[in-house]
Amino acid sequence: MTICAAVQCVANMKLAPLADQPGSIVQRVRRVQLQLSQPVRNARAPNPLRSLRACFRFLNRFPSCPASDAVPRLITQPQCRPRSAVGCPYNQPSKGHLLEGAIAAKGAERPQNGRSSPSDGHLSFDRTRFSGYGPAVKKPTIAMPAVASRPGSLKDPEIAELFERSDPEKTFEDLREIGHGSFGAVYYARHVPTREIVAIKKMSYLGKQSVEKWQDILKEIRFLRQLGHPNTIEYKGCYLHDNTAWLVMEYCVGSASDILEVHKRPLMEEEIAAICEGVLRGLAYLHSMGRIHRDVKAGNILLTENGVVKLADFGSAATKCPANSFVGTPYWMAPEVILAMDEGQYDGKVDVWSMGITCIELAERKPPYFNMNAMSALYHIAQNESPQLQASEWTDVFRHFVDACLHKNPQERPTSSRLLSHQLVTRTRSPTVLIDLIGRTKAAVRDLDNLNYRKMKKILMADENDAGAGDEGKSNSVTSEHSLHSAVSVASTGSNSSLPNQEAPPVPPHASTSEDFLPVRPHASNFATIRTTSIVTKQQKEHMQEEMHEQMSGYKRMRREHQGALLKLEEKCKVEMEGHKQILDKEYEALLSQFSKELERLTQRHQQELERRIKANSAAERRLFKDITTRQEADRKAFETQKKKEYKASKERWRRQMDDEATPKRQRDAALASQKENHKQVEAQEEQRLVRGQKDYLELEMRKLRRKKLLQIQHLELELLREELVKRQQQLETAHSMLLRHHEATQELEYRQQRAVHALREEQVSRQHQTELNSQREYMARTERELRKKHALELKQQPKSLKQKEALIRKQFRDTCKIQTRQYKALKSHILQTTPKDDQKAVIKKLKDEQMRKLALLGDQYEQSIAEMLQKQSIRLDESQVRISSYYPSHSCSFYFYAILLALRVQNSNVKNNNNEFVTVLPLTIAMCLYKSFNCSDLSSSQQSRPQ
């Protein structure tokens, strides 16, 4: 059923444009449907699964089909493999696989288990619901492409647009190597279509860490494409050829470090200021874009022939600011870069620190801590105070500039834009200072290269039978061999067009610019540079010794891995803590919701009870009012009845009193009316007193009742409030107990996470320390080998140097004696002219005695000079021996060295005849024979103590 459903799904796909083609997928699917609908009668019948696989393989020929038109794949793995960078975008099915999904709709969402990602055009299935041919079908999802594609693959359009399609070997000609480094080699070249001179940086992405190398190449290309400033290197393009990226940039004559290497002396302050201005302008441009160079040094500060400063080598640059990666060259690193993984992030001010170190490099020919191991220098940079200029010849303005760049606190360190207004940069200087510097350097390079060329030519053309030439060649063997290697290696990198014929001697590339020594060739290239052949050869030899580069790159890679592992663990702890907090928050919110409901019910009950009490009080108040009003009404009626009776009685009495006939009727009526009026007033007054008394009584009784009821309500409210407070107290205690429990659980989780982080940090620090210790041991072993070679060379050249120095002292002695003799003769002739003949004999004797005394003093001075020279040489050897012993005291070969020194010290300094050469050289010859008589291999393993 599952197969039929899948085939029906395939048949209903949007493949109408392919339906009419012979052998189309629709026709094949229909044939499979027909096969599936018929029962299998024999073993040789067509297998529907095999036909279905054929359909799938046929569809895989159309990689441009959208995701909605894709077909399900037959897989055996629980999930699909990631999409390969080359080949078909769908993995090929294999035999015996089961159909485990139907087609996913276009734009399907990524599942929560993270097995696949959207928008790759590649299907992914979950096998948890399938155990064979069943009706349950899991809907597949569309997977994302793999983040790290195969190095050198241009299937990704975004990566393909970074590279040119043409062949670089045909596009460029006359390639000559002008530099070498850990990344690869840099070449001088000419662009064939435009005849433009360019520099090509060849970077191979094969070997170890190929994916990382490829990503670094892409990063540098993207970075260079975004730049457009006069003080940053101009990007020309990039090519791929034989697993090597050809990064084409504008050509510069050399770097600031090349100038230091050529002149063998520091730059002048005016020249340093001009270079600093160009570098600061380039850095200000980068920092305004939110970029960080992170590798500012003299070797990455290039100069054009017109004296324009260019920032180069953006392989270590950061595309976002702030950053926290361990990147850069150790001696130029800022403290916050070294400590970034432990203490936080850094910004563009790290380039300002590197600028300050570069100023010291230009002023002293090397950066601080350059004589120690790179990893040791990292600790000194982070822990020690900021370095300063050592010489006292520099101005206060330059010192203030360097101190400002090297503030240990990044907050106090100025920005590159602010440093552009520093007095060192803004003060007046010659506009051609860098052009003059480049001109002097090019002239020095021409002299050096032509000198090496003449030495090489002299060695090649010298007569082997000429003993004098042999001695001279032997005396200059080291320099000549080095020059020969330089010339041959550089000449081999040039193109054939630079050599007009094969019979011409191999000319160094720098010498081709000199018209004083070489003839002008018709097809000579304009190869202007300030890099001598010795610099190129030195870089090639350093590149051949990849121990230090591999060591440092491995150390940086280890630090990045440590940082990634730490960030991953911190992110995991953060997610775990967030989930833990969500659970606790839900529990606490549920408790608070329960508390609020309980309080709401309690409040409702209290409100109802208060309302009932208020209603009862109102009813009692109405009853009391009614009762009092009824009694008062009866009292008023009784009062009125009584008053009426009293009025009738009083009226009868008044009439009886008025029955006297003698009183006139009018008078009787008036008196009666007066009595009635008085009676009514008295009655009205009594009635008013009664009404007022009743009213006061009613009010008094009502106030008594209200007071009583109010006290009862207040008592009730107090009881209800106490009940509510008790309830709230219970809830708070419950909530506090829950919060305490949550706090303990969170604290325990934090402790556990911190223990894991600290354990990881401890493991990383231990691994880092072990790596640094191994590096230091290798550094010490390398230093030991170099010192042994140097010491052996000094011992080998010791007799010859002593002989030369003694001959020089003897020559000076002879010249002094000749000068003194001439002075004596002149003085004698002058004195004889002015002295009488009788006194001339005594004067001549006195002059001879004085001459003999002075000659004896000169002889003593000669002997003393010889002795001081031998003593200085012995002290120098002692210091060299102590230096080796201090590095490696276990390897004691002091006995042999002190035997040589003893032979030097026993020389007879009382030389007063012509055999002094034999007396001086003989002990040295004996010492050298003694030294050579021992096996050199036994020196390193000798454990004898130095003889006293």
Q: DSSP letters along 19-78, please?
A: HTSTT-HHHHHHHHHHHHHSPP-STTSPPHHHHHHHHHHHHTT-TTS-GGG----EE-SS
Please say whether the structural domain 253-429 has been given the CATH code 1.10.510.10: yes
pLDDT recorded at residue 533:
65
Q: What is the mean pLDDT of the chain?
A: 72
Distance of CA 729 to the CA centre of its chain: 55
Q: Which secondary-structure segment (H or E) carries 468?
A: helix 467-475
Q: What is the pLDDT of residues 498-540, one digit of tens each?
A: 333 333 333 333 333 333 333 333 333 456 777 766 666 666 6
Q: Which residues contact 198 (CB under 8 A, 6 or more apart)?
A: 172, 189, 190, 191, 236, 248, 249, 250, 251
The pLDDT of 239-249, averaged and rounded, is: 90
Q: DSSP letters along 827-847, please?
A: HHHHHHHHS-HHHHHHHHHHH
**Least confident range of 1-5, 105-109, 391-395, 794-798:** 105-109
Are 930 and 900 spatial neighbours (Cβ–Cβ below 8 Å)? yes
Q: What is the pLDDT of residues 198-219, one digit of tens each?
A: 999 998 888 777 888 888 888 8
Catalytic residue among 120, 174, 295, 449: 295
Question: What does the alpha-carbon distance between residue 380 and residue 330 come to, in Å, rounded to a whole number?
Answer: 11
The pLDDT of 813-830, averaged and rounded, is: 83
Q: Reply yes or no on whether the pLDDT at 862 is more than 90.
A: no
Q: Which CATH number fits domain 158-251: 3.30.200.20, 3.30.70.940, 3.50.50.60, 3.20.20.80?
A: 3.30.200.20
Are 70 and 121 spatial neighbours (Cβ–Cβ below 8 Å)? yes
Q: What is the pLDDT of residues 334-361, one digit of tens each?
A: 999 888 766 678 888 999 999 999 999 9
Question: What does the alpha-carbon distance between residue 443 and residue 413 come to, in Å, rounded to a whole number?
Answer: 39
Question: What does the alpha-carbon distance between residue 575 and residue 577 come to, in Å, rounded to a whole number?
Answer: 5
Give the pLDDT band (50/70/90) at residue 241: confident
pLDDT recorded at residue 648:
82
Give the pLDDT band (50/70/90) at residue 893: very low
- Report the first-to-last Cα separation within the chain, whole angstroms: 99
pLDDT recorded at residue 548:
63
Give yes or no: 120 in active site: no
Give the pLDDT band (50/70/90) at residue 595: very high
The pLDDT of 797-813, averaged and rounded, is: 73
Question: What does the alpha-carbon distance between residue 927 and residue 109 come to, in Å, rounded to a whole number?
Answer: 86
**DSSP state for residue 83 in the 8-state scheme:** P
Q: Nearest-CA neighbor of 328 among 391, 364, 374? A: 374
Report the percent of the chain where pLDDT is more than 70.
64
pLDDT recorded at residue 679:
80
Report the percent of the chain where pLDDT is more than 90.
27
pLDDT recorded at residue 563:
83
Question: What does the alpha-carbon distance between residue 398 and residue 144 come to, in Å, rounded to a whole number?
Answer: 56
Give the pLDDT band (50/70/90) at residue 62: very low
Q: Which secondary-structure segment (H or E) carries 124?
A: strand 122-124
Question: What does the alpha-carbon distance between residue 730 and residue 652 come to, in Å, rounded to a whole number?
Answer: 84
In DSSP terms, 309 is beta-bridged to 303
Give the pLDDT band (50/70/90) at residue 324: confident
The pLDDT of 26-36, averaged and rounded, is: 51
Side-chain half-sphere exposure of 629, counting CA atoms within 13 A: 7
Q: Reply yes or no on whether the pLDDT at 908 is more than 60.
A: no
The pLDDT of 70-77, averaged and rounded, is: 38
Question: What does the alpha-carbon distance between residue 903 and residue 8 come to, in Å, rounded to a whole number?
Answer: 102
**Least confident range of 302-311, 427-436, 630-639, 866-875:** 866-875
3-state secondary structure 633-666: HHHHHHHHHHHHHHHHHHHHHHHHHCCCCCCCHH
- 99-137: string of b/e by CB count within 10 Å (b at 16+)? bbbbbbeeebebeeeeebbeebbbbbbbeeebeeeeeeb
Question: What does the alpha-carbon distance between residue 905 and residue 921 come to, in Å, rounded to a whole number?
Answer: 12
* Side chain identity, residue 570: E
Q: Which secondary-structure segment (H or E) carries 202?
A: strand 196-204
In DSSP terms, 203 is beta-bridged to 184, 245
The pLDDT of 588-612, averaged and rounded, is: 93
Q: Reply yes or no on whether the pLDDT at 873 is more than 80.
A: no
The pLDDT of 436-441, averaged and rounded, is: 91
Q: What is the pLDDT of residues 464-502, one digit of tens each?
A: 444 444 444 333 333 333 333 333 333 333 333 333 333
Q: Reply yes or no on whether the pLDDT at 937 is more than 60.
A: no
344 sits in the region (left: phi over 0; alpha: psi -120 to 50; else beta) called left
Q: Reply yes or no on whether the pLDDT at 592 is more than 90.
A: yes
**Least confident range of 40-49, 120-129, 832-841:** 120-129
Q: Which secondary-structure segment (H or E) carries 755?
A: helix 665-834
Are 231 and 308 spatial neighbours (Cβ–Cβ below 8 Å)? yes
Side-chain half-sphere exposure of 804, counting CA atoms within 13 A: 7
Question: What does the alpha-carbon distance between residue 219 and residue 200 come to, in Å, rounded to a whole number?
Answer: 17
Question: What does the alpha-carbon distance between residue 106 and residue 905 come to, in Å, rounded to a whole number?
Answer: 94
| C-alpha triplet 514, 519, 520: angle, nearest 5° | 80
Consult the annotation and say whether 202 binds a ligand: yes
pLDDT recorded at residue 422:
92
Cis bond before residue 322 (omega within 30° of 0)? yes
Domain locations in the chain as residue ranges: 2-143, 158-251, 253-429, 443-544, 549-800, 835-941
Q: What is the pLDDT of residues 643-698, one digit of tens each?
A: 888 888 887 887 777 776 666 777 777 877 888 888 888 888 888 888 898 899 99
Q: Reply yes or no on whether the pLDDT at 125 is more than 50.
A: no
Beta strand 196-204 with 122-124: parallel, antiparallel or unpaired? unpaired
Question: What does the alpha-carbon distance between residue 339 and residue 529 come to, in Å, rounded to a whole number?
Answer: 39
Question: In this structure, what are the phi and psi dihedrals at residue 760, rounded to the nearest 5 degrees?
Answer: -65, -45
In angstroms, the Cα distances linking 820 to 731, 840, 852, 858 are: 117, 21, 11, 10
pLDDT recorded at residue 301:
93
Q: Reply yes or no on whether the pLDDT at 930 is more than 50.
A: no
Q: Which residues contact 504 (CB under 8 A, 6 or more apart)?
A: none
| C-alpha triplet 747, 749, 754: angle, nearest 5° | 90
Are 338 and 357 spatial neighbours (Cβ–Cβ below 8 Å)? no
Question: What does the alpha-carbon distance between residue 508 and residue 531 come to, in Å, rounded to a whole number?
Answer: 11
* Number of neighbours of residue 167 by Cβ within 10 angstroms: 11
Question: What does the alpha-carbon distance between residue 552 and residue 646 come to, in Å, rounded to a whole number?
Answer: 134
Instruction: Give 811 or 582, the one with higher predicted confidence.
Output: 582
Q: Reply yes or no on whether the pLDDT at 849 is more than 50.
A: yes
The pLDDT of 784-803, averaged and rounded, is: 75
pLDDT recorded at residue 913:
38
